[in-house]
A and B are shown apart, each in its own frame.
Chain A
Amino acid sequence: MLTKRIIPCLDIKNGRTVKGVNFVDLRDAGDPVELAAKYAETGADELVFLDISATEERRKTLADLVLRVAEKINIPFTVGGGISSVEDVDVLLQNGADKVSINSSAVKNPQLINDLAAKFGSQCVVVAIDAKQIEGKWTVHLVGGKVPTELDLFEWAKEVEQRGAGEILFTSMDHDGTKNGFADEALAKLSTMLNIPIIASGGAGTMQHFTDTFKNGKSDAALAASVFHFHEIDIPELKQVLKKNNIPVRI
């Protein structure tokens, strides 16, 4: 049986891992490759590297990092952050990334989704969507949730699927950082409406939240950062709990 995936997310700044709560108080947390290797050994099913640096050299730094990760890590990984062209993606995939995640650039230029799917295949195109509820309507936001758009989450998700995305990574800004659980109602709606896998993000605080998002949120995968980085939840124990709750996991 296809198992549900647990995905730690590593924030990368200038080639180093950073840890912080809600992007505040960023601390250097060492070499991303070493941290990634630890996660791979302890049962992470996949990894996401999100580049949050804003320097001129970021493209090259990220491409170098991808190569170093591919050399050491024997599980799949996705790279995101500032990717805006077919050329950007070409370099990252050639260096060994399995998938790329695009967010703002997809909203600004939706044709990019079609172009990436046609050139590299849908399986490597993850579209990340950040949204929060404004007067009851799930509204897509850009720039890490700072800038609202006119787009409705569900309409945009549908369009993203039709354009050829292979997966959607949905982050609820309302839940992110709260540790009160994932946005399971919206996730379940996405998962039922669409026929591509949905990755839940934002709100993980307890192991129960993971059970809930797989059961009630119908999520195919769950992503989290701080609960894993600060060892509030360790993946081997989490997977045992999920298994006890009859959720198919790889152990």
Chain B
Amino acid sequence: MKLVIINYGAGNIQSIKFAFERLGVHAILSDDADVIKAADKVIFPGVGEASSAMAKLKATGLDKVIPTLKQPVLGICLGMQLMCNHSTEGDTTGLGIFDVDVVKFSNKVKVPQIGWNEIESLKTPLFKDIPEHSFMYLVHSFYAPKCDAMIASTNYEVDYASALQKDNFYGVQFHPEKSGKVGQEILKNFCQL
């Protein structure tokens, strides 16, 4: 299997690469559209601020490539948020794959949310054999509200979508690569989609 991690300069990609290596999957880092298109599976990572990450994506032309991909794609954290219509962070227009707008937690809770929280209402084979209320590691200030594409929900101030899916596109707000054994199982499931 050829797994490519999109390398556009925004994200803790080393940890994702190592997480797949622990599963025996060698990941290729690339910003080359042809390499990405030819992959069996694609990971779209992201850490940092939305508008600057989007600017980096546009600079490489990958903003046009990602929505056309046909193989399973997994957006992680900011990667998932950039796959949505819009984010209030930096008033950023996203890739429009998931029909939902990303908004910020209010000051009624501590922002960013940092730590382990539960995922529930799990759907799709991405969560095959993953128990309801499993703990995942999350670090974020912005979130995707509940919507039709939601395949996992988490509660922090509100119930929000901690995972999304549409066709071959998957997105997770949490960091499976940092979420212990269960996170590793989710990555394994993605490899088997």
Contact = CB atoms under 8 A, between A and B. Distances in A.
Counting contact residues on chain B (CB < 8 A from A), the size range is 35 or more
Contacts of B117: 1-3
A110 interface: no
Interface in B65-121: 107, 110-118
A219 to B, nearest CB: 11
A196 B111 contact: yes
Contact of A195 (B14, B107, B118): B107
A80 B141 CA distance: 23
B22 A74 contact: yes
B124 interface: no
A178 to B, nearest CB: 27
B175 interface: yes
A115 B49 CA distance: 13
A2 B115 CA distance: 7
A195 B110 contact: yes
A148 interface: no
Contacts of A40: 180
B179 to A, nearest CB: 7
B116 A3 contact: yes
B115 A45 contact: yes
B118 A1 contact: yes
B190 to A, nearest CB: 15
Contacts of B21: 71
Contact of A124 (B47, B180, B181): B47
B189 interface: no
A119 B10 CA distance: 10
Interface stretch (B30-38, B54-62, B132-140, B164-172): B132-140
Given A93-B12, A121-B49, A124-B47, A2 B113 contact: yes
B145 to A, nearest CB: 18
Nearest to B134: A250
Contacts of A45: 115-116
B14 A2 contact: no
Contact of B141 (A46, A74, A122): A122
Interface string A63-81: 0000100111011100000
Nearest to B137: A76
Interface string A194-227: 0111000000000000000000000011000000
A94 interface: yes
A237 B116 CA distance: 18
Interface of A: 1-5, 40, 45-46, 67, 70-72, 74-76, 93-96, 98, 118-124, 166-167, 195-197, 220-221, 250
8 cross-chain pairs, A with B, having the tightest CB-CB distances, nearest first: A96-B14, A121-B48, A250-B135, A250-B116, A123-B139, A96-B15, A2-B117, A76-B178
21 contacts: A1-B155, A2-B156, A4-B115, A67-B14, A74-B19, A74-B183, A74-B184, A76-B178, A98-B15, A119-B48, A120-B47, A122-B141, A166-B114, A195-B107, A195-B111, A196-B110, A197-B110, A197-B114, A220-B115, A250-B116, A250-B135
